[in-house]
Structure formats: C-alpha cells, structure tokens
Amino acid sequence: MTTSAPAFNPLDLSHSEDPYPRLAALRRERPVSTPLPGWHVVVRDADVRAVLADPALWSSRRNNSSVPDTPEADRELALSQLDPPAHTRLRRLLSPAFARTVVAELEPVVRERAEALAGRFEQDTDLVGAFAAPLPRAVLAAFCGVDDADAADYDRWAATFTDLLGHRAHAEWPAFERWALRETEGRVRVLQQLDRTEAVTFLHFLIVAGVPNLRHALGNLVLRLLSEDHWRAEGLPEAIEESLRLDPPALWQMRTATRDTTVGDSPVRAGERVVAVVASANRDPARWGANADAFRPDRPGVRAHLAFGKGPHACLGASLTRLQLRVAAEVLIGRYPKLRLAPGFRFRRAGDFMSRGPAALPVHLE
C-alpha cells in the first residue's frame, strides 16, 4: 500500500519544529514506520502505552549498547537507563524523597524563588530567559540543599549538563563530581542511601532531567495559557494537565527489543530500537476524541496523558514538576493579570532531539 504520510525521523531536528501534522498523518496511515534501519517509530496511544509498560520486552538499558552488562556499569547509568532489578532497587530508595506530601513542603521555597524572579521583569521581557530558565535551576538547588558558597558553581553546572551522554568526558565533570560527593555526605538525605558513584550519577540525572524539561514545560504552559485566552488562576491545575498533554516537553522515549516481537502488528527484531512518540499518543483521537488537538482543560481523564511516561519509568519528579508549574503560573498571573505576548510573536523551538519548548517568549507587561 502506498502512503503520502511523511516519515518522522527522531534524529532530524527539523521534524520537531512542528511535528504534529506529520504525526497525525502517521497515526492515520503508518502507525509503525521505519525512518532509519533498525529504528521503528510508533505513534498511536495504544502502541506507545504497550511499549512503555513492558520493560521485560522493551529495554531501557539496552539503549546503551556500548555499556557492559555489569552491576558496576549500572552505577554510572541514569535511572532512566536502567532495567529491573537495578532500576527497581534504585527507584525504591529514591521514591520517598519525591512523594507528593514531601514535595509539598517545598512550595514556600518555589513561591519565594518565583516571586523574586517575577519582580525583576522589565516592561518588555523574554519570559524564558528571565523566568522559565532560571526558576528550575533555583528550585533544584533548594531541593538539593545547595548553599550560597556553591550557588555560582551549581548554576554553571545546571547550564552545562543538558545530556545524559558523554558527560563524564566534559571538562566540568571533575569539579561537579567533587561537589556531588560532598552532597552525598551532607545535605541531601536520600543520597546517603546510595553508594558514591550512584549518588553522583543521580545528581547529574536530576539536573539533566529536572532543569531543561521544566524550562520547556513552563514555557509551553505560559504560551498555551496566553494563546488560548486562559490567563487566569481559575481551573489552573486542569489547564496545566491539558498543556502537558498537548505540549509535552519530551516528545518521545526510546526502548530496545529484548527478543523478536511485534508492535502494532509490525515485526521488530531483537536489538532493534523502538521510538515511542508520547507527543503523538497524547493527541491520538482514538484515546482523546475528535477534538484531541484542541485545548480543553475540562477534558475527562486528562491526567492520563503520557507527558510523564508510563510504567516503571514514569517520571519520578512528576509531583515536583506539577508543583513548580502551578506555583509559577499563580505568581505570574497574580502579578501580571494583563500579561500578553509581544506583537508579531512567532514560535521558535528550543531543545534537543527529544525535547521541545519555546526558545524565547517576548511578553509585554501592563
């Protein structure tokens, strides 16, 4: 059967500038496609959920094929790169620190940081540079117990480390590792349950996962609320979930088949990659109805979106992300109820192959 649906290549940045028309066409015509040899892209909600929910069949660790399959090597892999039982053990140790009731205690700090940043705005400002980028760094610093003496170094590392790959070869890594080892022995209580290598690895993962993705999520949220004339505190939690559904900061996740299998009735050989496009699943009419592309904060079951993933690798920091988005929006709306996008605004994407958010958000204060 011939098809006009263009491929979605996850390694082509131009495909993620505005991926949604391309992904919609694939959902209709090629729900499983192969843009690269040995790579399969799945775009329907049911297939994406099936891949993310089954770590025995769809491995996260085997995405790192150059890493030896040993417990020692596991200690240098991020939480998102591990399979059970290593992932299960580490997640069990870390989860209590990210429980919703524990994270809620951080709200006064998040609000104080957000108020401080919002109070410095000029009449015309870039909301990404002035707010969406520095706020996640400041909140994570508070979560990790970074003191004033380390603040400048930490801020530099948070801007430097944006990728899980190749970080140990970076010139800044030795300095970061020294700081991380001090944190292991002191302020971050949860890290005291990990060995030294695991603790350093997890702090790096916190920065990579918690800073850029929150920046994109916050930028996407502000843009969505302003564009949809929903700049108000009423119904904000639901609007946040709908923004995450429509504009997830992470577009896709990758897994590797552990044995010959099928996905969406298409054959996949052991060792081949599957790219599960959560940004497409989140707009699948089969799950979300004919108005799946529309902003509807009152949408039934909206919290079932896949912006935080699914299964054992569902985002550990989901509660912290939701807290930051809510408090940040409350602060901005409370201070600037007539905030609006600058005339002539055009979206320019920022992010790596997997992520997407506005590069800048020029706004005008009234």
Which of 149, 229, 231 minimizes the C-alpha distance to 187? 149
**Order of strands, edge to edge, in the sheet holding 340-341?**
124-126, 362-364, 340-341
pLDDT in tens, 253-269: 999 999 999 999 899 99
Residues counted in the chain: 366
pTM, to two decimals: 0.93
Which of 275, 316, 355, 209 minimizes the C-alpha distance to 58? 275
Between CA 362 and CA 47 the distance in angstroms is 38
Quick check: 320 pLDDT over 70?
yes
Kindly state the tokens that stand for 129: 């540079």
Mean pLDDT of 206-211: 86
The confidence score (pLDDT) of residue 187 equals: 56
Quick check: 145 pLDDT over 80?
no
CATH 1.10.630.10 given to domain 13-364: yes
165 or 87, which is more confident:
87
Which of 113, 329, 315 minimizes the C-alpha distance to 223? 329
Of the listed ranges 71-85, 159-173, 204-218, 320-334, the least confidently predicted one is 159-173
24 or 162, which is more confident:
24
Q: Are 275 and 41 in contact (CB under 8 A)?
A: yes
Average pLDDT, the chain: 91
Q: How far is CA 172 from the centre of its chain?
A: 24
Between CA 114 and CA 135 the distance in angstroms is 6
Quick check: 169 pLDDT over 70?
yes
